[in-house]
Amino acid sequence: MIVLIAGCSHTGKTLLAQKLLEKYKYPYLSVDHLKMGLIRSGQTGLTPESKDELLTDYLWPVLREIIKTAVENNQNLIVEGCYIPFTWRDSFTEEYLKSIRYYCIIMTDSYIDTHFQDIKKYANAIEAREEDSWITPEMLKEENGKNLQLCRKYDCTYLLVDNIYQVDVTLD
Protein backbone atom coordinates (compact mmCIF):
# COMPACT_ATOMS: atom_id res chain seq x y z
CA MET A 1 0.00 0.00 0.00
CA ILE A 2 1.09 3.54 -0.76
CA VAL A 3 0.09 6.32 1.64
CA LEU A 4 0.33 9.91 0.45
CA ILE A 5 0.32 12.55 3.20
CA ALA A 6 -0.11 16.13 2.04
CA GLY A 7 -0.77 19.48 3.67
CA CYS A 8 0.87 22.85 4.04
CA SER A 9 3.83 23.61 6.25
CA HIS A 10 3.54 22.92 10.00
CA THR A 11 0.47 20.64 9.78
CA GLY A 12 2.21 17.49 11.04
CA LYS A 13 2.80 15.49 7.86
CA THR A 14 6.13 14.10 9.05
CA LEU A 15 4.70 13.35 12.49
CA LEU A 16 1.88 11.30 10.94
CA ALA A 17 4.36 9.51 8.66
CA GLN A 18 6.50 8.65 11.69
CA LYS A 19 3.45 7.33 13.58
CA LEU A 20 2.53 5.12 10.62
CA LEU A 21 6.13 3.90 10.35
CA GLU A 22 6.06 2.88 14.00
CA LYS A 23 2.58 1.32 13.83
CA TYR A 24 2.72 -0.47 10.46
CA LYS A 25 6.48 -0.60 9.78
CA TYR A 26 5.96 1.15 6.41
CA PRO A 27 9.00 3.19 5.37
CA TYR A 28 8.46 6.79 4.41
CA LEU A 29 9.94 9.19 1.92
CA SER A 30 10.09 12.86 2.80
CA VAL A 31 9.49 14.91 -0.34
CA ASP A 32 11.54 17.67 1.29
CA HIS A 33 14.54 15.32 1.42
CA LEU A 34 14.12 14.48 -2.26
CA LYS A 35 13.76 18.19 -3.08
CA MET A 36 16.90 19.16 -1.18
CA GLY A 37 18.89 16.27 -2.66
CA LEU A 38 18.02 17.34 -6.18
CA ILE A 39 18.72 21.01 -5.42
CA ARG A 40 22.02 20.43 -3.60
CA SER A 41 23.28 18.01 -6.25
CA GLY A 42 22.73 20.61 -8.96
CA GLN A 43 20.09 18.55 -10.77
CA THR A 44 17.79 21.59 -10.92
CA GLY A 45 18.02 25.34 -10.93
CA LEU A 46 15.13 25.50 -8.47
CA THR A 47 15.80 26.57 -4.89
CA PRO A 48 14.04 25.95 -1.56
CA GLU A 49 12.48 29.40 -2.04
CA SER A 50 11.04 28.57 -5.48
CA LYS A 51 7.26 28.75 -5.83
CA ASP A 52 5.44 25.62 -4.66
CA GLU A 53 3.83 25.21 -8.10
CA LEU A 54 7.26 25.06 -9.78
CA LEU A 55 8.57 22.59 -7.20
CA THR A 56 5.45 20.43 -7.57
CA ASP A 57 5.76 20.43 -11.37
CA TYR A 58 9.40 19.35 -11.05
CA LEU A 59 9.06 16.80 -8.23
CA TRP A 60 5.74 15.13 -9.02
CA PRO A 61 6.88 13.19 -12.12
CA VAL A 62 9.72 11.68 -10.07
CA LEU A 63 7.43 10.90 -7.12
CA ARG A 64 4.78 9.45 -9.44
CA GLU A 65 7.27 6.97 -10.88
CA ILE A 66 8.61 6.04 -7.43
CA ILE A 67 5.02 5.33 -6.37
CA LYS A 68 4.34 3.24 -9.49
CA THR A 69 7.52 1.24 -8.92
CA ALA A 70 6.57 0.55 -5.29
CA VAL A 71 3.07 -0.60 -6.35
CA GLU A 72 4.48 -2.82 -9.10
CA ASN A 73 6.85 -4.41 -6.58
CA ASN A 74 4.07 -4.91 -4.03
CA GLN A 75 5.89 -2.68 -1.53
CA ASN A 76 4.49 -0.42 1.15
CA LEU A 77 5.58 3.20 1.16
CA ILE A 78 4.51 6.46 2.78
CA VAL A 79 5.24 9.63 0.82
CA GLU A 80 4.84 12.85 2.79
CA GLY A 81 5.23 16.41 1.67
CA CYS A 82 3.81 19.64 0.33
CA TYR A 83 4.42 18.88 -3.34
CA ILE A 84 1.73 16.29 -4.04
CA PRO A 85 -0.79 17.78 -6.48
CA PHE A 86 -4.50 17.66 -5.69
CA THR A 87 -4.94 16.10 -9.14
CA TRP A 88 -2.66 13.20 -8.14
CA ARG A 89 -5.27 10.60 -9.17
CA ASP A 90 -4.95 11.67 -12.81
CA SER A 91 -1.41 10.24 -12.81
CA PHE A 92 -2.49 6.66 -12.19
CA THR A 93 -4.66 3.96 -13.74
CA GLU A 94 -7.35 2.19 -11.70
CA GLU A 95 -4.95 -0.67 -10.99
CA TYR A 96 -2.51 1.67 -9.27
CA LEU A 97 -5.24 3.64 -7.49
CA LYS A 98 -6.39 0.47 -5.71
CA SER A 99 -3.09 0.52 -3.81
CA ILE A 100 -2.92 4.23 -2.96
CA ARG A 101 -4.42 6.16 -0.03
CA TYR A 102 -4.25 9.95 0.20
CA TYR A 103 -4.67 12.19 3.23
CA CYS A 104 -4.30 15.96 3.41
CA ILE A 105 -3.92 17.44 6.90
CA ILE A 106 -5.81 20.71 7.25
CA MET A 107 -6.03 23.01 10.27
CA THR A 108 -9.08 25.22 10.74
CA ASP A 109 -8.82 28.97 11.29
CA SER A 110 -10.11 28.44 14.82
CA TYR A 111 -7.43 25.85 15.59
CA ILE A 112 -4.68 28.09 14.19
CA ASP A 113 -5.92 31.10 16.18
CA THR A 114 -6.15 29.10 19.41
CA HIS A 115 -3.01 26.97 19.02
CA PHE A 116 -0.55 29.02 16.98
CA GLN A 117 2.16 28.88 19.67
CA ASP A 118 1.73 25.09 19.93
CA ILE A 119 2.00 24.77 16.15
CA LYS A 120 5.35 26.57 16.26
CA LYS A 121 6.46 24.70 19.40
CA TYR A 122 5.89 21.28 17.81
CA ALA A 123 7.39 22.20 14.44
CA ASN A 124 10.52 20.28 15.45
CA ALA A 125 8.73 17.21 16.82
CA ILE A 126 10.34 14.89 14.24
CA GLU A 127 12.84 16.91 12.23
CA ALA A 128 15.14 19.81 13.02
CA ARG A 129 13.74 22.84 11.24
CA GLU A 130 15.48 26.04 10.45
CA GLU A 131 14.24 29.22 12.07
CA ASP A 132 10.57 29.77 11.18
CA SER A 133 9.73 33.31 12.26
CA TRP A 134 8.40 33.84 8.72
CA ILE A 135 5.32 31.74 9.46
CA THR A 136 2.26 33.68 10.62
CA PRO A 137 -1.27 32.70 11.61
CA GLU A 138 -2.55 34.55 8.54
CA MET A 139 -0.28 32.59 6.23
CA LEU A 140 -1.31 29.28 7.78
CA LYS A 141 -4.99 30.17 7.57
CA GLU A 142 -4.66 31.18 3.93
CA GLU A 143 -2.76 28.01 2.92
CA ASN A 144 -4.98 25.65 4.93
CA GLY A 145 -8.11 27.34 3.57
CA LYS A 146 -6.85 26.98 0.01
CA ASN A 147 -6.02 23.31 0.61
CA LEU A 148 -9.50 22.67 2.01
CA GLN A 149 -11.09 24.20 -1.10
CA LEU A 150 -8.86 22.12 -3.37
CA CYS A 151 -9.54 18.91 -1.43
CA ARG A 152 -13.26 19.52 -1.85
CA LYS A 153 -12.88 20.41 -5.54
CA TYR A 154 -10.85 17.28 -6.35
CA ASP A 155 -12.59 14.96 -3.85
CA CYS A 156 -9.41 14.35 -1.86
CA THR A 157 -9.58 12.84 1.61
CA TYR A 158 -8.63 15.34 4.30
CA LEU A 159 -8.04 15.17 8.04
CA LEU A 160 -9.46 18.29 9.66
CA VAL A 161 -7.75 19.55 12.81
CA ASP A 162 -10.24 21.71 14.70
CA ASN A 163 -10.41 21.67 18.51
CA ILE A 164 -7.52 19.38 19.40
CA TYR A 165 -4.66 18.00 17.36
CA GLN A 166 -5.62 14.38 16.89
CA VAL A 167 -4.40 13.13 13.53
CA ASP A 168 -4.29 9.41 12.92
CA VAL A 169 -5.32 7.00 10.22
CA THR A 170 -6.00 3.29 10.18
CA LEU A 171 -4.72 1.39 7.19
CA ASP A 172 -6.72 -1.65 6.15
Q: What is the mean pLDDT of each run of 10 residues along the chain (172 residues)?
A: 97 95 97 96 96 97 99 99 98 98 98 93 63 83 98 98 92 84
The candidate with the shortest Cα–Cα distance to 162, out of 120, 115, 122, 121, is 115
Sequence-ordered list of residues with C-beta below 8 angstroms from that of 52, at least 6 positions apart, any chain: 82, 83
pLDDT in tens, 67-102: 999 999 999 999 999 999 999 999 999 999 999 999
Domain range for 143 is 2-161
Q: How many domains in the chain?
A: 1
pLDDT of residue 121: 83
Tally of CA atoms within 13 A in the half-sphere of 130 that contains its CB: 2
| CA gap 102, 96 in Å, rounded | 13
How far apart are the C-alpha atoms of 16 and 8, rounded to whole Å?
A: 13
Taking the C-alpha atoms of residue 124 and residue 105, their distance in angstroms, rounded to an integer, is 17
Whether 31 is in a domain gets the answer yes
Instruction: Residue 137: give its domain's CATH number.
Output: 3.40.50.300
pLDDT at 17 (0 to 100): 97
User: Does 34 map to a domain?
Assistant: yes
pLDDT, position 135: 85
Q: Is residue 167 part of a domain?
A: no
